[in-house]
Homo-oligomer: A and B are copies of this chain.
Amino acid sequence: MSKVRVHNLAVSLDGFATGEGQTLEAPFGHAGTRLMEWFFETRAFRSMIGRDGGSEGADNAYASAWAPGIGAEIMGRNKFGPQRGAWQDEEWKGWWGDNPPFHTPVFVLTHHPRPSLTMDGGTTFHFLDATPAEALARARDAAGGLDVRIGGGPTTVRQFLDADLVDHLHVVLVPILLGRGVRLWDGLESLEDRFTVEPVTTPSGVTHLTFARR
């Protein structure tokens, strides 16, 4: 059976995986880039945006696990864009330009479905009003036997964890206090009972936590 995986989900010490006040200019709200700086330094990220160089150590090893073996992604509406409620128009095609880094079908969870968007490079955005289990069934069909990635944001990941649909969770603990935003861990008491948890601190100062289903 294909696995359901979460990768590179950064959280602050106080448990926020994104800040308050998302806008077009600030996808992570007041958190700015602080949760993702460890990632921007990696060779994996730089190659994703067509640049050379980058770190090749442990952070890069974790970051690189994001793509291999993935056949589809599921993401929340707020990862796709800053709009809320009904779409004003259908001009918005995500933050990632004409050739998004996914290169697979991507299922965007929203209460406001719209026609699918075929992008360059193999990414197609489909818009679904569905429960986590329903969305996962659709994504598994589309993934052709490969794994399905839950791409975030934190609310979406939390819903899939709550429904016990996640096999592999990679969280990156960044030693900052955001104070406000969207919490990842709420309502997940004793999550560790279902997983083997391995924490590893890297020289950049973050701590990678890998939760693997027992």
Q: Which residues of A contact B (CB under 8 A)?
A: 13-15, 173, 175-180, 183, 185-192, 197-201, 205-207, 209
Taking CB atoms, residues of chain B closer than 8 Å to A209 are 13, 175
Q: Is the CB of B189 within 8 A of A180?
A: yes
How far is it, in angstroms, between the C-alpha of A71 and the C-alpha of B37 when the chains are bound?
41
Contacts A14-B15, A15-B14 given; does A176 touch B190 at CB 8 Å: yes
Tell me how far the C-beta of A36 lies from the nearest C-beta in chain B, rounded to whole angstroms.
Answer: 16
Q: Is the CB of A201 within 8 A of B197?
A: no
Tell me how far the C-beta of A161 lies from the nearest C-beta in chain B, rounded to whole angstroms.
Answer: 10
Q: Is the CB of B192 within 8 A of A199?
A: no
How far is it, in angstroms, between the C-alpha of A13 and the C-alpha of B206 when the chains are bound?
14
Tell which of B15, B173, B177, B201 touches A192, judged by Cβ atoms closer than 8 Å.
B177
Taking CB atoms, residues of chain B closer than 8 Å to A177 are 185, 188-192
Copies of this polypeptide in the complex: 2
How far is it, in angstroms, between the C-alpha of A200 and the C-alpha of B13 when the chains are bound?
14
Q: Is the CB of B179 within 8 A of A197?
A: no
Taking CB atoms, residues of chain B closer than 8 Å to A206 are 199
How far is it, in angstroms, between the C-alpha of A178 and the C-alpha of B198 when the chains are bound?
18
Chain B: CB-nearest residue to A199: B201
Taking CB atoms, residues of chain B closer than 8 Å to A13 are 15, 173, 185, 209
How far is it, in angstroms, between the C-alpha of A192 and the C-alpha of B177 when the chains are bound?
7
Chain B: CB-nearest residue to A211: B175
Taking CB atoms, residues of chain B closer than 8 Å to A190 are 176-177, 179
Chain B: CB-nearest residue to A186: B14
How far is it, in angstroms, between the C-alpha of A209 and the C-alpha of B187 when the chains are bound?
25
Contacts A13-B209, A173-B207 given; does A189 touch B200 at CB 8 Å: no
How far is it, in angstroms, between the C-alpha of A179 and the C-alpha of B193 when the chains are bound?
13
How far is it, in angstroms, between the C-alpha of A206 and the C-alpha of B186 when the chains are bound?
21
How far is it, in angstroms, between the C-alpha of A186 and the C-alpha of B180 when the chains are bound?
9
Tell me how far the C-beta of A38 lies from the nearest C-beta in chain B, rounded to whole angstroms.
Answer: 12
How far is it, in angstroms, between the C-alpha of A177 and the C-alpha of B192 when the chains are bound?
7
